Amino acid sequence: MADQWLQQIKWTEDGLVPAIAQDYRTGQVLMMAWMNPESLRLTVQEQRAVYWSRSRHKLWRKGEESGHVQVLHGLRLDCDNDVLLLQVEQMGGVACHTGRAHCFFQELKGGQWRAVDPVVKDPGTIYGKS
């Protein structure tokens, strides 16, 4: 069967699997999102990251609004078959909706979460919102 590789994935009860996006050159973890079988199939077909938006209940092509597309360079499945690793080229240098290079910009310091990485681009200019 053509999609046997999809059947090997252990999907959640909601039909999703966590997907970690990693810069294929540096190894920096950029973000985590969710994928369903259709978004994963499209990711492979289009060679760009397509996720499932749980809040909007629809497919989300990374960069469709911001222009910050993630070009797929590699795809891996973990040892338990329940987490994906997308090795991507992050176009525009911004992966996070906050305008940062990656989503993991908060670090626990002194018992509080503190933003330790700068905003690269004002989110208002990315998404046209004030």
> What is the topology classification, in CATH, of domain 4-94?
Ubiquitin-like (UB roll) (3.10.20)
Query: 21-59 pLDDT, tens per residue?
Result: 999 999 999 999 999 999 999 999 999 999 999 999 999
Cα 83 from Cα 80, distance rounded (Å): 8
- pTM over cut 0.85: yes
Domain positions in the chain are: 4-94
DSSP code string of 14-50: TS-EEEEEEETTT--EEEEEEE-HHHHHHHHHHTB-E
